[in-house]
């Protein structure tokens, strides 16, 4: 059977270190690994847990049950024991509780940790026990621990000692789990925010600024860790400063990025309008979490779609793209930079906590596919004397950087302006400039990818989604198909402007269609209705702050189709 592990404990017990190291060991052993975290908004205490799923092929979503439960405290046992398979096992410390359950494996974590050098290493003892139960040796874990604590004399060795003590305590007991696949190909293991940070750097982003806000902060952390890659990272005093700094950097020629969540984007709204009026490229990652206000700051949601589609006063063109899964999001963010530069407009890239904190094993990225051209004019294409907002057929004016052409001044104005950039208040100029800017929507529409489709051409059941619901919907469709149900999966990564031809086709042929999204009001379904007049037969919505699983979707489909 597959490996499905839940590691739980209070904040501060080293749960992330344990689960993260276990996931990397499994990936190194040749498994396809998927892992994520569910954590509370506090530094100490509370109940947090991580899920690690490993199989021969990388899973798309998480299983409803587990076969190994690692309890760093009694609350983990109480909360998750109903999810443990009959043939599974759970690790516990007898100092916490003594269950009457033959599936329990008593590991005196604190006692063994103290013997190794300190009770803080109880999580490392638990890691050793987990490896033993899964039939894995400790060599990779020992190497990782020595590397993690390389700058702390003796600490690495103490953790190796704690690891081995935990491994030896389990004895001969082993879980019956499948072996890894035979694929010898190279694979990488990383989480969503790391992939987006890597994509930004590979896209030629040279300036990043943000005010830290969960779940987007990991992008800043990744970029700040790059050395010698010519990326300037600045922690702004607030989100207003961040968006304005991005516009300043972009105006002078640097590919620039900011990342925030819904609350921070609220403060950026005026700056987004400024980008629209000055026609300055800007890429903004909005990592969604449940609102309103502070809401669930460490949970996931898709409730900001309507907001980002309409944020900013006045009317101006924009593009909205989204992160669906790691294999695509890396290249999709690169596309966002390219669109921003080509169309001289803000591009909003939607992520969420589930995508940000979920890691997978995937094939390495192809950096040769990355687009870095900034689509700048020169003295032969700018038609001197230079007019920054020259009226054109496609609405895209030639873009020069300040000082690029000797003797030519580059003007930008937040007021309505003429072709040169001087303030204008006559109706004729206003109409001409509004129409010029909005012409870009036609070009943006041509660049939007059609949604990806999996399944037969005439499905009985059609599941439609966008963003990070991809994995759960994909697995739900696969399970329906395995049960001889004709099912299709249509998934959007490019949200706005909305491509509709595949949507028209599959909604027209499907007997039952469902829009799957993690919000209360069905914001994507409403967008489809508004733009196309098309209706879904049903909606599957989730707004408890937790990501969809395939089981969630299948349960709703069964209820609606009966």
The answer as to whether 394 is a domain residue is: no
> Which residue has tokens 């589609």?
309
What confidence tier does 181 reach under pLDDT thresholds 50, 70, 90? confident
pLDDT for residue 233:
96
For residue 459, give the nearest of 421, 514, 399, 522 by alpha carbon.
514
Same domain, 77 and 218: no
Q: pLDDT tens-digit profile of 208-260?
A: 999 999 999 999 999 999 977 789 999 999 999 999 999 999 999 999 999 99
Count: domains in the chain: 3
Q: Out of 177-191, 301-315, 462-476, which region has the weakest mean confidence (pLDDT)?
A: 177-191
Same domain, 124 and 15: yes
Separate counts of helices (H) and strands (E) for the chain = 19, 20
Say what angle helices 122-133 and 109-116 make with each other, to 10 degrees. 110
Q: How many residues does the chain have?
A: 562
- The predicted model scores a pTM of 0.95
**Please, are residues 308 and 343 in contact by the beta-carbon 8 Å criterion?**
no
The answer as to whether 342 is a domain residue is: yes
Q: Please enumerate in sequence order all residues whose Cβ is within 8 A of that of 101, keeping only pairs 6 or more positions apart, or say none.
A: 81, 90
Same domain, 507 and 556: yes
The answer as to whether 183 is a domain residue is: no
Region class of 72: left (phi > 0), else alpha (psi between -120 and 50), else beta: alpha
What confidence tier does 39 reach under pLDDT thresholds 50, 70, 90? confident
Extract the tokens encoding 470: 């991809």
The answer as to whether 525 is a domain residue is: yes
Same domain, 25 and 158: yes
pLDDT for residue 417:
98
The answer as to whether 309 is a domain residue is: yes
Mean pLDDT of 255-269: 98
Question: Mind spelling out the 3-state secondary structure of 289-351?
Answer: CCCCCCCCCCCCCCCCHHHHHHCCCCCCCCEEEECCCHHHHHHHHHHHHHHHHHHCCEEEEEE
- Residue ending a domain, choose from 369, 388, 420: 369
What confidence tier does 443 reach under pLDDT thresholds 50, 70, 90? very high
Mean pLDDT of 374-388: 92
Same domain, 359 and 464: no
Same domain, 213 and 331: yes
Diameter of the chain by CA atoms?
A: 85
pLDDT for residue 43:
74
CA torsion sign, 532 to 533 to 537 to 539?
positive
- Residue ending a domain, choose from 119, 134, 169: 169
Instruction: Decide if pLDDT at 397 tops 80.
Output: yes
The answer as to whether 374 is a domain residue is: no
Q: pLDDT tens-digit profile of 55-65?
A: 999 999 999 99
Mean pLDDT of 401-423: 95
**Please, are residues 11 and 42 in contact by the beta-carbon 8 Å criterion?**
yes
Q: For the chain, what is the mean pLDDT?
A: 95
Q: For residue 51, what is the domain's CATH number?
A: 3.40.920.10
Q: For residue 552, what is the domain's CATH number?
A: 3.40.50.920
pLDDT for residue 183:
65
Same domain, 76 and 210: no
The answer as to whether 111 is a domain residue is: yes
Q: Which domain holds residue 30?
A: 3-169
Same domain, 115 and 37: yes
Same domain, 153 and 218: no
pLDDT for residue 40:
84
Same domain, 223 and 137: no
Instruction: Decide if pLDDT at 310 tops 90.
Output: yes
**Please, are residues 54 and 1 in contact by the beta-carbon 8 Å criterion?**
no
Instruction: Decide if pLDDT at 473 tops 90.
Output: yes
Instruction: Decide if pLDDT at 501 tops 80.
Output: yes
The answer as to whether 512 is a domain residue is: yes
Same domain, 214 and 284: yes
Q: For residue 299, what is the domain's CATH number?
A: 3.40.50.970
pLDDT for residue 184:
64
For residue 215, give the nearest of 314, 335, 300, 102 by alpha carbon.
300
Question: What is the C-alpha separation between 203 and 490, in angstroms, rounded?
Answer: 28
Distances from the Cα of 551 to the Cαs of 62, 438, 449, in angstroms?
9, 43, 29
What confidence tier does 561 reach under pLDDT thresholds 50, 70, 90? confident
- Residue ending a domain, choose from 334, 369, 404: 369
Same domain, 213 and 265: yes
Distances from the Cα of 93 to the Cαs of 24, 56, 110, in angstroms?
24, 31, 8
306, HSE (Cβ side, Cα atoms, 13 Å): 14
For residue 472, give the nearest of 361, 359, 554, 559 by alpha carbon.
554
Distances from the Cα of 514 to the Cαs of 490, 546, 560, 561, in angstroms?
10, 19, 10, 10
Q: Quick one: DSSP state of residue 511? A: S
Q: pLDDT tens-digit profile of 64-120?
A: 999 999 999 999 999 999 999 999 999 999 999 999 999 999 999 999 999 999 999
What confidence tier does 562 reach under pLDDT thresholds 50, 70, 90? low
Mean pLDDT of 277-294: 97
């Amino acid at each position: 059977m597959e490996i499905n592990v839940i590691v739980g404990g209070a904040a501060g017990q080293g749960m992330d270190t344990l689960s993260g190291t276990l996931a990397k060991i499994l990936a190194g052993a040749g498994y396809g690994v998927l892992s994520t975290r569910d954590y509370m908004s506090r530094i100490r205490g509370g109940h947090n847990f991580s899920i690690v799923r490993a199989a021969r092929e990388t899973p798309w979503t998480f299983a409803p049950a587990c076969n190994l439960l690692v309890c760093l405290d009694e609350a983990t046992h109480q909360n998750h024991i109903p999810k443990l398979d009959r043939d599974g096992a759970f690790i516990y410390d007898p100092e916490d509780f003594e269950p009457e359950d033959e599936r329990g494996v008593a590991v005196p974590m604190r006692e063994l940790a103290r013997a190794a050098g300190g009770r803080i290493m109880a999580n490392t003892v638990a890691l050793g026990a987990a490896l033993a139960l899964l039939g894995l040796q400790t060599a990779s874990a020992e190497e990782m621990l020595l590397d993690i604590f390389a700058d702390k004399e003796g600490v690495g060795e103490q953790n190796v000692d704690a690891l081995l003590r935990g491994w030896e305590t389990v004895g001969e007991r082993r879980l019956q789990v499948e072996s890894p696949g035979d694929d010898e190909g190279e694979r990488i293991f990383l989480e969503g925010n790391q992939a987006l940070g890597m994509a930004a750097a590979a896209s030629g982003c040279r300036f990043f600024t943000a005010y830290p806000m969960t779940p987007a902060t990991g992008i800043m952390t990744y970029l700040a860790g790059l050395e010698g890659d010519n990326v300037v990272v600045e922690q702004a005093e607030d989100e207003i400063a961040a968006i304005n700094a991005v516009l300043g950097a972009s105006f002078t020629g640097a590919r620039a990025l900011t990342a925030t969540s819904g609350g921070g984007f609220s403060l950026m709204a005026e700056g987004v309008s400024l980008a629209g009026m000055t026609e300055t490229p800007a890429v903004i990652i909005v990592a969604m979490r449940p609102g309103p206000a502070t809401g669930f700051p460490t949970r996931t949601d898709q409730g900001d779609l309507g907001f980002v589609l309409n944020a900013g006063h006045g009317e101006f063109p924009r593009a909205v793209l989204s992160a669906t899964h790691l294999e695509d999001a890396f290249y999709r963010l690169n596309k966002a930079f390219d669109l921003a530069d080509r169309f001289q407009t803000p591009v909003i890239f939607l992520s969420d906590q589930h995508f940000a904190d979920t890691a997978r094993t995937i094939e390495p990225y192809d950096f040769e596919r990355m687009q870095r051209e900034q689509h700048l004019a020169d003295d032969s294409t700018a038609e001197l004397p230079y007019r920054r907002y020259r009226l054109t057929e496609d609405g895209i004016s030639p873009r020069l950087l300040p000082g690029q052409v000797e003797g030519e001044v580059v003007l930008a104005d937040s007021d309505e302006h003429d072709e040169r950039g001087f303030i204008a208040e006559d109706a004729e100029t206003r109409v001409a400039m509004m129409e010029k800017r909005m012409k870009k929507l036609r070009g943006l529409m041509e660049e939007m990818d059609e949604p990806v489709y999996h399944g037969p051409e005439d499905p009985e059941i059609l599941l439609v989604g966008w963003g990070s619901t991809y994995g759960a919907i994909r697995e739900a469709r696969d399970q329906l198909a395995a049960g001889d149900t004709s099912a299709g999966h249509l998934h959007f990564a490019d949200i706005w402007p909305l491509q509709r031809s595949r949507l028209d086709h599959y909604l027209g042929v499907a007997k039952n269609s469902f829009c799957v999204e993690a919000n209360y009001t069905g914001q994507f379904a409403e967008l489809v209705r508004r733009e196309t007049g098309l209706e879904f037969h049903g909606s599957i919505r989730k707004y408890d702050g937790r990501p969809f699983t395939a089981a969630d979707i299948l349960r709703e489909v069964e209820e609606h189709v009966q």
